[in-house]
Amino acid sequence: MKNSKIAHEPLFHITKRPPMSKLSAFSVRIGAFFAALILSALFVLITIGIDPWTFIKTMIKGAFGVPGAEKADSFSAFWSIFSKDSYFWITLKTACKLLLIAVALAPAFKMRFWNIGAEGQLLAGGMGAAFLMFNYGTLPVYILLPLMLIVSIVCGAVWAVIPAVFKAKFNTNETLFTLMMNYIAMKIVDYFYNLWRGPMSALGMINPSTNAGWLRSIWSGKEAAWFRNEDLIFMFIIILITVLMYLYLRFTKQGYEIAVVGDSQNTAKYAGISVNKVMLRTMAISGAICGLCGFLCVSSQSHTITSTLGNGYGFTAIIVAWLSKFNTFVMVGVSILIVALENGSMLMANTYGDLGFSPASAKIIVGVMLLLIIGCEFFINYKLAFRSRAAKKEEVTE
Amino acid sequence: MAPERTPVIQLKGITKRFGSSVIANDDITMDIYEGEILALLGENGSGKTTLLNMLSGIYYPDSGEIYVRGEHVSIRSPHDAYLLGIGMIHQHFKLVNVFTAAENIILGIDEGAVIDLKTAKKRILEICSEYGFEIDPDQKIYDMSVSQKQTLEIVKALYRGADVLILDEPTAVLTPQETEKLFNVIRNMRNAGKTIVIITHKLQEVLEISDRVAILRKGRYIDSVPTCDATELSLTEMMVGQKVELNIDRPEPKNCELRLSVRGLSCKNAENIEVLKDITFDAYSGEILGIAGISGCGQKELLESIAGLQKPEPGAEIVYISPEGKNESLIGKTPKKIRAMGVSLSFVPEDRIGMGLVGSMGMVDNMLLKTYNRGSTPLTDKKPSKRLAEQIREDLAVVTPSIGTPVRMLSGGNVQKVLVGRELSSSPTVLMTAYAVRGLDINTSYVIYRLLNEQKEKGVAVVFVGEDLDVLLALSDRILVLCGGRVSGILDARTATKEQVGYLMTNIPEEQEAQDEKQ
């Protein structure tokens, strides 16, 4: 190579791959997961000197274990993971909440409507439920609970339809609009929180003595000791919605319309589908499910309202929805994975806080994991073609 | 002029794959000689553009070697290509709209921090007068016509010292008159010693302009022949790999009844600019009405207004006369309403994947597009569309891994077959097609012409918007010519000439002008 003006063949270039088989795509993702695990283990080893084995054990325990239990191999210990304060149970519950929000986002995202406002829609729903709980706690159970359910769903739907109306009428940017609606919802919740707590330092649970508006009030009296049932209903409803959403998107006319609008609005118009109508309807559904999630969180989980009711899962759910390509069944696994990572690393922070492993370090681990898991999608779609050996040899001989 | 036998560019064993299944270029070895006009001929998808994109640094070959003036080079970016004196003029121009011609030309040239527009302009004008270009260096891009922009791209390449110019389908966007002008400057450049490579699939142009033709088929280099030894038929056979019949049938129209009557149709686009002005015409059953015009002259809006996708200005009349003799106005009706009225109107839009089909869906789901709402349950019934998909796949020989494969993954010809198949399956009484054969290979194009003629013989009123005047004149019964959103004439296609149509595409006849003013 005498011509110095023109550089050598590049070391590698990026080319698009043909669609990978499901199995090899799966193994790439598993590989990315283990790479992330190794990286996190190294991070822990370097920062606080905890060996990788202890790190992994703690992570697993924090995600799926039982507090305090050192031996998890005996039979009774196995059953104890189903006790209400086992980490396993908490992970399951929290994952369900994340799952429901992701499921709520699925139709909107499939329609290419970037609903970033799940957090606000959930709060709107939760606020509706809490309002009835606080002011109408004397209503009979069979009126109060259905009313709370309906009001929550309506509140969530309205909160989601507002940006959709503006998008339909004025073509506003839905990403910014739904995002801003989150903060409005948060401040409304803060307002009522402060109003209701009055001179107290915190609101605490609403109706702690009567349990009015609590999901467990359905089965009053002695069975109420089975308070885990409240969790079971919570999870059951969420699984049900997940299955229904899958069927809705896949087999119904409305689901078909959503897919067409999401792919190309021009095609939708060409087919005579009213894009605006589909957009409003789909956002109403998306918001309604978020509102339902707000109801479930208030009525069966926290029994009160704060602006952190959503726990930021309105945003995390976006990652879940994308990672699972809007397939509601894949969302189940992704939700569990993310919550397990969070809970596992939180136990790390709780256990080794004195060594300097702070909650922030826990978030670094979750971040590293997510980055690698999301990043591996690149290698599923593209490959790096390195400069071939033969070409190198030739250069040497030249 | 006999080309001098010094290869300026040699390609040796060039292979480029997209994924493992698509081989765009398979072991191509060919030479490009100095001072010749080489036409690179091949059907769509034969790898012409891919090959030359590797010369201009857009793609990088997977294997193979490129020699420029005898030296082994590696072209990693358009900048490398520019250093080697290779300039490519792409189909889609790469110009900054708000800049002037001169600013665009010097854009990205590293000549120090101070921009010397004055000298640049002088050099631009020198280049223009040398080769016969007409360019105003101070004109903004957004004021330019397509042909001016193309000229500018060529001047830009020359300004940067390119002596090998690659033109990717340069005539696709030009009128016959503009094409002639372009060919003149190409000849001037060749006479000045430049090497020109033209990518094209139009045979007449190859024969008219080139010195030598290189033919690609399915990613492979077939052969190259001096143009003087080639005929339209011999080239087609090399291109397609088999004998083909190049005649388009034109059966006599039978049982012509008025089917569609358009009166005083005007239409504004989203920017409130009038794109259609006072269009009046009739379409009859059993005939093909061709619509000619420079692209973007209102063809799209015309068809979309009839299909219920554009809102016409008040005062327009679009009346559908059913075979039973019932009159129905289509103004203000959505496509769904038009279907509900029992009007069987099929429309093959220009933008196949962006409008006619859903790219991410397979054939089955695409068959559902206009019928998904049938039945009273909230669920879709996919059985009939599955049957239809299977049938279209078989009847029109659609090449697809399965009827569930997203249509986006299919080649252009197969996509069009799916779309046309669906539109014909509803047994239309009016069939509108926009650029139905754009980007299709010769065989598929003829399949489409045959299908259109079949529909015509069945008594369908066919409206065929086309761009290739030879095809329009051979296929249509009457030709409506659009110019700037107005009807500049309706001709009998059996007697009209290409020059007549070409003239009407750019000029409104005076008597019509006067008539318009009277109104």
H or E element in which residue B452 lies: helix B442-457
> pLDDT tens digits, residue range B241-273?
877 777 788 989 888 899 999 999 999 887 788
Go through B425-450 and write b for each residue having 16 or more CB atoms within 10 A of its CB, e for each that does not: beebbbbbbbbbbbbbbbebbbbbbe
- Give residue A223's pLDDT: 55
**Total number of domains in chain A:** 2
Tell whether A201 and A261 lie within a shared domain: yes
pLDDT recorded at residue B516: 58
Q: Which of B76, B339, B357 sits opposite A267 (nearest CB)?
A: B357
Question: What's the pLDDT tens digit per position in B65-106?
Answer: 999 998 898 888 888 898 899 999 988 888 888 888 888 888
A183 and A282 in one domain?
Answer: yes
Among B243, B229, B167, smallest CA distance to B200 is for B167
If asked whether residues A288 and A157 sit together in one domain, one would say yes
Interval A336-356: pLDDT, tens: 999 999 999 899 888 888 888
* Domain spans of chain B, in order of start: 7-95+162-240, 284-518
Interchain CB contact of A119 with B (< 8 Å): no
Claim to verify: residue A215 and residue A311 sit in the same structural domain? yes
Q: Which residues on B lie below 8 Å from A272 (Cβ)?
A: 308, 334-339, 370
| Phi, psi dihedral angles at B23 (to 5 degrees) | -105, 105
Count the Cβ atoms, other than its own, within 10 Å of residue B46. Answer: 23
Q: Which residues are paired to B282 by β-bridges?
A: B261
For B261, the 3-state DSSP assignment is strand
Chain B CB contacts of A252 under 8 Å are: 378-380
Give the pLDDT score at B342.
Answer: 85
Tokens for A93?
């519950």
Strand B345-348 versus strand B430-434 pairing type:
parallel
Residue among A6, A254, A326 with most chain B CBs within 10 A, to mutate: A6
The three-class DSSP label of residue B414 is helix
Most B CBs within 10 A among A270, A394, A397, A398, hence the mutation to make, goes to A270
- Hey, are the CB atoms on B369 and A260 less than 8 Å from each other? yes
Asked if residue A344 is part of any domain, the answer here is no
The CA distance from B446 to B437, in Å, is 9
Judgement on whether residues A366 and A285 belong to the same structural domain of the protein? no
Q: Tell me, what's the pLDDT at B37?
A: 94
pLDDT at A239 over 90: yes
Residue B286 exposed, middle or buried by CB count within 10 Å (0-12, 13-18, 19+): buried
Nearest by CB to B354, which of A6, A254, A267? Answer: A267
Buried residues in A164-185 as b, exposed as e (16+ CB within 10 A):
beebbeeeeebeebbbebbeeb
CATH 3.30.1490.20 for domain B7-95+162-240: no
A283 close to A232: Cβ distance less than 8 angstroms: no
Q: Which pLDDT score, from 0 to 100, does residue A225 have?
A: 53
- Which residue from A2, A16, A260 is facing B18, i.e. has the nearest CB? A16
A197 with A257, same domain: the answer is: yes
Q: Does A274 touch chain B (CB under 8 A)?
A: yes
B164 φ/ψ angles, rounded to the nearest 5 degrees: -120, 120
Phi-psi region of A325 (alpha: psi -120 to 50; beta: other; left: phi over 0): left
Mean per-residue pLDDT, A132-147: 91
- Determine contact, residues B349/B434, Cβ cutoff 8 Å: yes
Section A211-224 average pLDDT:
72
What are residue B225's DSSP bridge partners? B213
Residue A323 and residue A368 in one domain: no
From A13, A15, A256, residue closest to B380, measured CB to CB: A256
Q: Which domain holds residue A233?
A: 94-219+226-336
* Position A224 pLDDT exceeds 60: no
The 3-class secondary structure across B97-131, one letter per residue, is CCCEHHHHHHCCCCCCCCCCHHHHHHHHHHHHHHH
Whether A9 sits inside 8 A of B360 (CB atoms) is: no
Which residue's entry shows tokens 């086309």? B466
The whole-number average pLDDT for the span A81-103 is: 88
Which of A336, A352, A368 finishes a domain?
A336
**CA–CA separation, B462 vs B452, rounded Å?**
7
ipTM of the shown complex = 0.80
Tell whether A262 is covered by a domain. Answer: yes
Instruction: Return phi, psi of residue A11, to 5°.
Output: -60, -45
Could you say which residues of chain B have pLDDT below 50? Answer: 1-3
Q: Is A389 on the interface with B (CB under 8 A)?
A: no
Quick one: pLDDT at residue B518?
Answer: 55
Indicate whether A21 and A112 sit together in one domain.
no
Claim to verify: residue A254 and residue A392 sit in the same structural domain: no
If pLDDT is split at 50, 70 and 90, which confidence band does A111 have? very high
Whether A169 maps to a domain, the answer reads yes
Category of A198 on φ-ψ map: left (φ > 0), alpha (ψ -120 to 50) or beta: left
Instruction: Check whether residue A167 and residue A109 sit in a common domain.
Output: yes
Per-residue confidence band for A105, with pLDDT thresholds at 50, 70 and 90? very high
> Given this model, what pLDDT does residue A221 score?
58
Length of chain B: 519
Question: Is residue A167, in this structure, part of any structural domain at all?
Answer: yes
In this structure, the answer to whether residues A369 and A279 fall within a common structural domain is no
Model confidence at A129: pLDDT above 60: yes
Task: Report pLDDT for B142.
Answer: 87
CB–CB contacts below 8 A, A to B: 101
Residue carrying structure tokens 């290739």: B468
Q: Which of A352, A378, A354 is nearest to A365 (CA)?
A: A352
Q: What is the pLDDT of residue B455?
A: 94
Task: Answer whether A67's CB lies under 8 Å from A351's CB.
Answer: no
Give the Å distances, CA to CA, from B2 to B77, B189, B223, B350. 33, 15, 18, 42
Which candidate in B306, B380, B418, B426 is best for mutational testing of the A interface (most A CBs within 10 A)?
B380
Same domain assignment for residues A30 and A113: no
The whole-angstrom distance between residue B362's C-alpha and the CA centroid of its chain comes to 25
Number of C-alpha atoms within 13 angstroms, CB side, residue B452? Answer: 33
What DSSP string describes B338-364?
Answer: HHHTT--EEEE-S-IIIIIS-TTS-HH
Cα separation of B59 and B8, whole Å? 20
Among A14-28, A146-160, B146-160, which is the least confidently predicted range? A14-28
A260 interfacial to chain B (CB closer than 8 Å): yes
pLDDT of residue B93: 84
CB B79 within 8 A of CB B68: no
How far lies B135's CA from each of A12, A40, B146, B171, B175, in Å? 42, 62, 13, 18, 18
| H/E stretch holding B168 | strand B164-168
CA proximity to A292, closest of A258, A241, A216, A219: A241
Whether residue A267 and residue B369 make contact (CB cut-off 8 A), yes or no, is yes
Average pLDDT over residues A320-325: 89
Question: What would the CATH number be for the domain defined by B284-518?
Answer: 3.40.50.300
**Cα–Cα distance for residue pair A293/B484, rounded to 1 Å:** 56
- Report d(CA B156, CA B152) in Å as an integer: 6
Distance CA B209, CA B388 (A): 45
In angstroms, the CA B400 to CA B392 distance is: 11
What pLDDT is attached to residue B21?
66
Quick check: A15 contacting B, CB < 8 Å? yes
Q: Residue B379 gets which letter from DSSP?
A: B
Contact call for residues B169 and B46 (beta carbons, < 8 A): no
